[in-house]
Chain A
Amino acid sequence: MRRDSYHIQDHSAESNLFAQRAVISLFFIGSLMLLLIGNLFYLQISSYNSYQTRSNENRIKVQPIQPNRGVIKDINGKILAGNEPTFSLEIIPEQIADMDKTLAEIGEIIQISDEQIEVFKRAIKYRRRFKGMPLKSKLTDKEVALFSVHQHRFSGVSIEARLARHYPFGDYFTHGVGYVGKINKKDLQRLDDTGQLKNYAATRSIGKIGIERYYESQLHGITGSQEVEVNHRSRVLRQLSVTSPITGTDLHLAIDVDLQIKAKEIMGDNMGAIIAMDSRDGALLTFYSNPTYDPNLFVNGISQNEYSKIIGSKDKPMLNRVTQGQYPPASTIKPQLALLALDKGLITKDTTIWDPGYWRIPNIEVQRRFRDWKPQGHGHVDLLTSIKQSCDIFYYDLAYRLGIDNISEFGSKFGFGDYTGVDVFEESTAIMPSRAWKKARFKEVWYKGDTISIGIGQGYWTATPVQLAMSTAILVNRGKIVEPRLVTGITKNGVYQATATKHRNPIVLKNDKHWDIILDAMYQTVTASDGTARKAFEDAVYSSAGKTGTAQLFGLDEDEEYNVEDVAERYRDNAMYVGFAPYESPSIVIVVALENAGGGGSHAAPIARKILDLYFGLGLAGKRDLTNTIPPVDTNNDNG
């Protein structure tokens, strides 16, 4: 076999050489083996903990679990804001290569409207990264089934079962209860600033207005978490551990659904507000602002079209007229002014003036006449008549003699020009004018003439219906001050707890009898044959007291545009009424404000009558048991 060409070789020398080289090789291999083993020792033994951690970080992900939002209920436990299980089609934009193509492909499977696409595209600009955004909510069972069949084609698109906020009564409670909407960048910033962002890791919606916003932190609950094992595609394989979320606090209102529904019916096309409040603890029984809108539109993102319809309406449905409507209080504040004059000793119960139908500022050359609403005048007028007949001349004179400083100070004590503390953020202070206010607002000094129309609740003076309710309650309570509030109780972890009434330092008069004089005058307004509200309350089965008001204005806001087409209607008077019942032991204060409706006695008072009829007719009067109410909280240092 051996080739002939082989040279004669020194076989043993060659063998030795080879053996030597083989041994060198083995040494070499041995040292490389030790290198490998050393490195593996370093990885598996020395660095074990670090790699163990990184391995777990790979496979274990902590996912937040959204807590169920607390529900909002009326006095009878009817749900005003609840949670409804829904299926929504959600997209994580970061996982989509070609969004338009994906949307088109989804559109072939289930119907997606242009509006939904538009809302979706707008929403993804303002959302958190790597969070799913609903494209279509409230999928039908059929749509869920249809999409599920095609699920495999769409990575980054999924059907999510969620609890969505639902307002079963639609637009009846919008301004009080408010609504939730998707969390936007501004909300995120706020959450971040207040250190709550972590608790919102799984949350899509947040309270935007009303109670939903005011009590957001209580309604929301505490986010839970689960540890899950995922594979390299982040697909969840199994749950390793779970910390359950804690459901948000339920809120209970004193508002009665039936009364509120009637209030809306009674308001009809009138713009304005109806507010009924328990004078004893400030609990709001009716809180209605007209016109209104459906809060459900906002829950899943409102389309531009729908939003324009609401925001563009000249009737301003989004304005919360209860707390933001700034109306001249008109004659409704005459009782307070009379009270101030009594207490200052400027008048007594029996002081009379002569009303020829007009009034002039004494000792002044420019003789402008301030007119009474009754052109021929009321003749001899005392305090009682001045209120029940709403005599303007009496109050021009009083205002002139009191001066703006006294009026302003007293008005402020009654809550004018300041927040009432009602539990919605959408509140306006309106204006309790003063020298300082005019200086700041117009850079002008206060003229005596400015004070005169203040006397009849006009001029610079404006008030919100909720302020009127509060100030009326102060009269009713003889100086005791309770702040109005919507929420009267909470249920936390299954335990009901009444919430405290918020009190302020009471108004103390030199003579407590003065309260009686004023309240009696208001009673006479309703009951006396010449009372301005007598007709409206004819044959009422309960006793009540009140004060009418009629004010002229162009619009609600100082900065509202002058619109020629609207002038005719907008020139009409605002009708106001404040009242309380029963007269002997008051439990309810009512305020009605109607824009451009006409006279307070003829338009606002009848509406107040209807509400009070229902209040007593439905047996709501005895419903609220206040014996278990929590001791009041003094809020003198944080009103505003």
Chain B
Amino acid sequence: MTMVKTENERRRSSMWFRFHVDVPLMLAILTLMLLSVFVVYSAGGQNINMAIRQMFRLGLGLGVLLIVAQISPFFYQRWAPHIFVVGVILLISVLLFGDMGKGAQRWLNLGITKFQPSEIMKLSLPMMMAWFLSKYTLPPSTKNTFFSFCIIAIPTLLIAKQPDLGTSLLVASSGFFALFLAGLRFRILFGLIAMFAAFLPILWFYLMHPYQKQRVLTFLNPESDPLGSGYHIIQSKIAIGSGGFQGKGWLQGTQSQLEFLPERHTDFIFSVFSEEFGFIGVLLLLAVYAFIIMRGTVIAIRAQEGFTKILAGSLTLTFFVYLFVNIGMVSGLMPVVGVPLPLVSYGGTSIVTLMASFGILMAIATNKRLLAA
């Protein structure tokens, strides 16, 4: 761990700054964490044990954040390729030796604990991309753009193979955002979009699993199968819609309390929140998220190095993808993809990964190299 002197003496003098804590970001995160405990308690059928476990997880996440924040971003820069390679190896071993769970092979059993290597990749790929892109002049050359796509493709495909569509989507977008922020040429961008459109039929007919196709079909017309695969999304929309402007009140959401809503405490926790706190609550929640994203963007812009800029930007944008995919999914804008609501959903791994990425953001915000500028 290396402490680096910064140019800003005034800010340096702040105690928070010294401990690598970005106060606005931290306040926003703490707000979400506090909210999470209350919503999880409600969504979990008013199970106090569940709320306590969530508090522990959040506490653990907070610890991870603070630790990660103390690590210099340049440590990651140096080790980015190595971490990436290890991550890829782990992903391959998951496919070879991993434990099955809910029809997918995502977990690696280490004897004492199980973990998902795909979570590492959520952080490792942005680092790898930032490392690779910042080695060369920006915007990246066509050749480097091509290499970048190769780097993105490897973990994305490995995760998609598990299959874990949600995570592979998040990982792919984190890599893509890095490329975009680094100045990916619009010509190539639009070309890629066109290619992707052409690729869709192949994806549909050859690559997607039947259950994934079913999700898409259900998304397009959930009412066609109200008791089957459309049930989740219909019940979720009823929960959100019946919340109205003011909401039914904390612990008063009938859709969630009477268990009409599936996956209440995990992927569909936003529906619980919307039902109980209404449109006004939703606006406030989105305001907090928007604040985090803006703060992340500010940190990225203020960062002095290509690596830290790209990494901070990529992590921030990926955070938005989390948010958009989850809310879009539960409110019927997107197919059901297993992505939790960041920092609110009940669940260990995603919280720790997210907190680690905020730790990195704070490290970037508080580790500024003296540069002639």
Contacts and interface: CB of A to CB of B under 8 A. Distances in A.
A241 to B, nearest CB: 16
Interface string B191-206: 0000000000000000
Contacts of A39: 328, 331-333
A388 to B, nearest CB: 82
Interface stretch (B36-44, B95-103, B253-261): B253-261
A231 to B, nearest CB: 4
A569 to B, nearest CB: 65
Contacts of B327: 36, 40
Contacts of A10: 137
Interface in A3-41: 3, 5-7, 9-12, 14-15, 17-19, 21-22, 25-26, 29, 32-33, 35-37, 39-41
A51 interface: yes
A307 B138 CA distance: 95
B183 A43 contact: no
Contacts of A17: 138-139, 183
Contacts of A50: 241
B333 A14 contact: no
B8 interface: no
B258 A22 contact: no
Dominant SS among interface residues on chain B: helix
A32 B138 contact: no
A364 interface: no
A37 B244 contact: no
A1 interface: yes
Given A1-B2, A9-B306, A25 B180 contact: yes
B324 A48 contact: no
Contacts of A233: 259
Contact of A58 (B139, B254, B301, B328): B254
Nearest to A30: B290
Interface in B323-373: 324, 327-328, 331-333, 369, 371, 373
Interface in B163-184: 177, 180-183
A55 B242 contact: yes
Contacts of B180: 21, 25
Contacts of B240: 40, 43-44, 51
A230 B324 CA distance: 33
A59 B241 contact: no
B274 A36 contact: no
A21 B181 contact: yes
Contact of B324 (A36, A40, A47): A36
Contact of A22 (B135, B242, B297): B297
A19 B306 CA distance: 11
A29 B293 contact: yes
Of listed A1, A7, A40, residue having the most chain B CB within 10 A? A40
Nearest to B333: A39
Given A7-B137, A14-B306, A22 B241 contact: no
Given A36-B286, A58-B238, A21 B135 contact: no
Contacts of B293: 26, 29
A52 interface: yes
B254 A55 contact: yes
A9 B259 contact: no
B74 to A, nearest CB: 4
Given A44-B279, A58-B254, A232 B241 contact: no
A229 interface: yes
A10 B138 CA distance: 9
A32 B260 contact: no
A366 interface: no
B301 A22 contact: yes
B64 interface: no
B43 to A, nearest CB: 14
A229 B259 CA distance: 12
A237 interface: yes
A437 to B, nearest CB: 62
B283 interface: yes
Given A1-B2, A51-B238, A9 B137 contact: yes
B238 A54 contact: yes
Given A1-B2, A43-B237, A58 B181 contact: no
Of B77, B237, B238, the most chain A CB neighbours within 10 A belong to B238
A155 to B, nearest CB: 16
Contacts of A440: none
A35 B286 CA distance: 12
A46 to B, nearest CB: 9
A54 B278 CA distance: 16
A233 B258 CA distance: 9
A440 to B, nearest CB: 59
A45 interface: yes
Nearest to A17: B183
Nearest to A59: B254
B309 interface: yes
B136 interface: yes
Nearest to B239: A55
Contacts of A55: 238-239, 241-242, 254-255
B41 to A, nearest CB: 18
B136 A7 contact: yes
Contacts of A36: 286, 324, 327-328, 331, 333
Given A58-B260, A230-B258, A44 B138 contact: no
Interface in B135-160: 135-139
A25 B237 contact: no
B258 A229 contact: yes
Nearest to B246: A44
Contact of A44 (B136, B245, B254, B286): B245
A381 B158 CA distance: 121
Contacts of A41: 279
Nearest to B183: A17
B241 A44 contact: yes
Contacts of B61: none
Interface string A224-239: 0000011111000100
Contacts of A25: 177, 180-181, 297, 313, 317
Contacts of A229: 254, 258
B222 interface: no
A40 B279 contact: yes
Identify which of A3, A51, A231 gathers the most chain B CB atoms within 10 Å of its CB.
A51
Contact of A26 (B78, B139, B238, B297): B297
Given A22-B300, A44-B245, A45-B279, A37 B137 contact: no
Contacts of B72: 1
B311 to A, nearest CB: 12
Interface in B20-77: 72, 74, 77
B301 A18 contact: yes
Contacts of A2: 74
Contacts of A35: 333
Given A1-B78, A39-B333, A51-B241, 6 more contacts: A3-B135, A14-B137, A17-B139, A55-B255, A58-B238, A59-B255
3 tightest CB-CB pairs across the interface, nearest first? A51-B241, A55-B242, A44-B279
5 contacts: A17-B183, A39-B328, A43-B237, A43-B241, A43-B331
Interface of A: 1-3, 5-7, 9-12, 14-15, 17-19, 21-22, 25-26, 29, 32-33, 35-37, 39-41, 43-45, 47-48, 50-52, 54-56, 58-59, 229-233, 237
Interface of B: 2, 4, 72, 74, 77-78, 135-139, 177, 180-183, 235, 237-245, 254-255, 258-260, 274, 278-279, 282-283, 286, 290, 293-294, 297, 300-301, 306, 309-310, 313, 317, 320, 324, 327-328, 331-333, 369, 371, 373
